[in-house]
Amino acid sequence: MPLWQWPEIQALLWQFSGNPRPQSASPEVIRALEGHYAKERIRQEQQGLGKPIIAARFNDYQIVAVGNTVHWSPKAKTFPDFLGEYIKRVLGSDWGNAEIAKPFDERHTLLQWYDGYCRYQAATINIPGEVSGAVMTGVVACYLGTAYSLYLLDHNVELQTRLVQRLKNQKDFQGAYYELIVANALIRAGFKLTLEDETDSSTKHCEFAAVSQRSGKKYCVEAKMRAVIGLLGADDKDGTKKSNPLSHMIKHLNAALAKPATDDRLIFIDLNTDATLGADGKPTWTHHSFTRLERFERDELATDVAAYVFISNTPFHRMLNEPQHTALAAFGLGIPDFNRPGTVRLTDIYRQRRKHADAFQIAEAFMKYPQLRTTFDGSLPCDSHAR
């Protein structure tokens, strides 16, 4: 039977058109729709499940719609080009120029990354003004990754002035930066975010809420990153010298669980450690983190409390001139049938993936951070960074 006669394709036709389900369709129509679905699948693979990039070329200008705002540029030839211009608009040229005027060691972390990104461009652009490809390094993941997260939040939710202010304040930067990484992953995983009122100090609340477009479930989201002296603006007042990457994991977990939540919990904790792999190819901290979480669950977790816990390591800032590295380990705290160590039957794996599809989708999206679109129309893959 030809593909266009399959019942599944007929069902897609019906869903796509919004009209009563057709009894038949011509091969030409089916091929056109198949092409549409193929392009959409490629787009989702590259961009995730959030809103698509809305862009067009008009005369000598690249037009990009972000939320309710239209941006245009005579210079942007690639999507990373646009992101480089976009983050400057969001942060403000006055603030950026004031930071650049400072000695390098006194500049805000974002402007130190900007300096590294400019050097990266100078080293990788073969012909000025021509598009060229290069391996994505840590500095690209840091600087353009932040720009992309801001864009996704602006395009899919809203870009709160307070969040931008926190990002520009070096003492608040680390928290805002990791929240953006988490928001980026959730948006690409197909979640609609609702940002909490950060000015409301009358009650504790999660960083934001996330609703799955797949299941309709609502989640309370918390994001914490271990502060290390000398990194991301942390000093001896709020950072640690301890080399143990799990030194603050339980502290962050307890702080997240202390927030009231009427919905299921998603807790993200970044270890902020070196990208060290064991003989099995996995991060050296994975086994120890699971062992500690299992002990916490057995001895310290309150009754009827549960959470999807995502232990991450996004050490781009530690390896600015090396290929970017992302690691994530997911654990079902109080959820015994989600991603536990040990042998699992294939039938149970299938059942778990269906039951906990939202959490698996989040993990897959997080591991692709900060996969950047190269072109506006998806005509080139995202495997490398282009400029």
Bigger pLDDT: 50 or 339?
A: 339
Cα distances (Å, whole numbers) of residue 230 to 163, 171, 200, 318? 23, 12, 31, 11
Q: Which residues contact 7 (CB under 8 A, 6 or more apart)?
A: none
Q: What is d(CA 296, CA 289) in angstroms, rounded to the nearest whole number?
A: 10
Q: Quickly tell me which residue has 């009754």 as its tokens.
A: 303
316, pLDDT greater than 60: yes
Question: Is pLDDT of 18 > 50?
Answer: no
User: Which range, of 9-13, 39-43, 90-94, 361-365, averages the lowest pLDDT?
Assistant: 9-13
Q: Which long-range contacts (CB under 8 A, 24 or more apart) does 362-365 make?
A: 362/185, 362/186, 362/189, 362/191, 362/266, 362/308, 362/310, 362/330, 363/310, 363/328, 363/330, 364/189, 365/48, 365/185, 365/186, 365/188, 365/189
Query: How confident is the model over 86-101, as a mean pLDDT?
Result: 96
pLDDT, the chain, mean = 85
Amino acid at 95: W
Kindly state the percentage of the chain with pLDDT values over 70: 81
* Tens digit of each residue's pLDDT (9 = 90 or more) over 210-220: 999 999 999 99
Between CA 91 and CA 164 the distance in angstroms is 7
DSSP H or E segment with residue 290? helix 286-299
Q: What is the pTM of this model?
A: 0.85
Q: Over 60: is that where the pLDDT of 250 sits? A: yes
Residue 40 has pLDDT above 70, yes or no: no
Residues 154-165: what's their mean pLDDT? 91
pLDDT at 138 over 50: yes
Which of the two residues, 130 and 64, has the higher pLDDT score? 64
For 150, counting Cβ atoms within 10 Å of its Cβ (0-12 exposed, 13-18 middle, 19+ buried), the class is buried
Strands (E) in the chain, as ranges, are 54-58, 61-66, 69-73, 133-134, 191-195, 208-212, 218-225, 264-270, 307-313, 327-333, 385-386
Rounded-to-integer distance, Cα 30 and Cα 28, Å: 5
Give how far the C-alpha of residue 50 lies from the chain's centroid of Cα atoms, to the nearest Å: 11
Higher pLDDT, 220 or 68: 220
The rounded distance, in Å, linking the Cα atoms of 298 and 294 is 6
- In this predicted structure, the answer to whether residue 195 has a pLDDT above a threshold of 70 is yes
Q: Cα–Cα distance between 190 and 361 in angstroms, integer? A: 8
- Judged against a pLDDT cut of 80, whether residue 180 lies above it is answered with yes
Contacts 24+ apart (CB under 8 A), 69-78: 69/154, 77/131, 78/131, 78/374, 78/375, 78/376, 78/386, 78/387
Per-residue model confidence (pLDDT) at position 234 = 95
